[in-house]
Amino acid sequence: MPAPASPAPDPRPGGAWYLVLPPLVVAAVAAGYLGADLAGALDEPSDAALPTLWQAALVTAQAVALLWRNRMPAAVFTAVVALDLVLLGTSDGQLGIGALAVMIGGYTLTRHRGVRAAVVWLLAAAGATAIVGTVAMLAASAPLPVLTVLVVCVARLALLYVAPAAAADYVGGRQRLARALEERADLLERERVERAARERQAERVGLARELHDIAGHHLTGIIVSAQAASALAETEPQRARQMMRAVQDDARTALADLRRTVGLLREDDDHDAGGAPSPQPAIERIPTLAEQARARGQQVEVTVRGDERRTGVLAETAAYRMVQESLANAARHAPGAACEVTVAFGADAVTIEVHNGPPAAVAVGSDSARRLPGDAYGLAGMAERAGLVGGDLTTGPTSDGGWRNRLTVPLAPVSATEAVDG
């Protein structure tokens, strides 16, 4: 068995006194015993093997040994028990001034080694004490009755070994419980910190996705409208001015939406956004997206099939943002391509599909032919939103050279009240 680690220094104020106080008390017992003898208060047996001075010296030796009880608990316990056995054997088994040191040594041994490891030492010491004390009392010049000897022996063993071991085990159990509670509190705190970190990360991802959707949609529209206005500036100046007004409207809306989104991170909810933000994203507003795209020069057709039904806010947002991102991607990567948006309401799900054809044939080198740079966040954002609402997203090229995004979102079951109201 490996030797136990040395105990850590007592962090409490007065920790040094905690280490030296028990030896001082034992030394005080020796001094008091010697003082009582000098004052004539003791009736020393005439046949005592050791004089009072030597007996007090043995107790003092116990006190000195206790100074190392935390470093060498087993060795110190053995030493104080051996000294106590000398006192018992030389006093007809009646002198108990060495008992306090034995109790302190047994308590310290149990605290450091635990009950299971200390029980061997305790049993060996208890057996030696029982033998020496019993033999000394029975061999005295005035022997005690056997029953009295047995009662004294049992009481001595209980006082010297059982009580200190039980006290040490109780105190150790309380400390183990306190440590367990502290570890549990630390674990809960770590879990709380990790959960907060995950929540912050999720908020950052959500905010980044929202900013991407807003900025990508509006900025793509601004760039496409500006390119169209530039192309029409000489041939159709009136229409070019209309396109520039559309650019200004898109810029104002984008600024208001961005300020509203960034405002979620601020405490001053009364902060003036400086413009009218876009309404809450919803499936019913998909035709409005198509109108805005047509105002920028895109060819967009919207078809709605089935009985329109509302679903959850997250699902509505996921569908709206999917169409928004798809139209922005079409304008970015396939300028001039015709887009078809289909919203099909089924019995338990709604399917939103956006299909655009290949880029239109335009003059090489013209502004309209410039392909706008894309990014990797659009499709990832669609997939994340679909996963949040339990939807199914499929994306990929079509046989005609275009692209198709299809999102299927489950619908919430219609309650009886809604059915009657409908």
Q: What is the pLDDT of residue 27?
A: 85
- Cβ atoms of 260 and 279 within 8 Å: the answer is no
Q: What is the pLDDT of residue 405?
A: 93
CA angle in degrees (0–180, nearest 5) for 116-119-120: 115
Q: What is the pLDDT of residue 215?
A: 62
Q: What is the pLDDT of residue 361?
A: 54
Beta strand pairing call for 338-345 and 349-356: antiparallel
- Cβ atoms of 334 and 359 within 8 Å: the answer is yes
For the chain, the straight-line distance linking the first and the last C-alpha, in angstroms and rounded, comes to: 79
Look at residues 269, 273, 224 and name the one whose alpha carbon lies nearest to residue 253. 273
- Cβ atoms of 312 and 302 within 8 Å: the answer is no
Query: How far apart are the C-alpha atoms of 274 and 185, rounded to whole Å?
Result: 47
CA dihedral 75, 79, 81, 86 (to 10 degrees): 160
- Cβ atoms of 320 and 284 within 8 Å: the answer is no
- One-letter amino acid at 190 equals R
Residue-level pLDDT, tens digit, the chain, 422 residues = 444 444 444 444 445 777 888 888 988 888 888 888 787 766 654 455 778 888 889 989 998 999 999 899 999 999 999 999 998 888 877 778 888 999 999 999 999 888 888 889 999 999 998 898 888 888 876 777 888 888 888 988 999 999 999 999 898 889 889 989 999 998 999 898 888 888 777 766 766 666 666 666 666 667 777 777 777 777 777 777 777 777 777 777 666 666 666 655 554 444 444 445 556 788 888 998 888 888 878 889 999 998 888 787 778 888 888 898 888 888 888 888 899 999 999 888 899 999 998 887 543 333 443 443 444 557 777 887 788 778 899 998 988 888 999 999 988 654 433 443 44
- One-letter amino acid at 38 equals L
**Long-range contact pairs involving 369-374 (C-beta distance under 8 Å, separation at least 24):** 369/335, 370/227, 370/335, 371/332, 371/333, 371/335, 372/220, 372/223, 372/224, 372/331, 372/332, 372/333, 372/335, 373/332, 374/329, 374/332, 374/333
Residue 149 structure tokens: 């000897």
CB atoms within 10 A of CB 168: 21
Task: Tell me the domains of the chain and their CATH numbers.
Answer: 15-144 (no CATH), 283-422 (3.30.565.10)
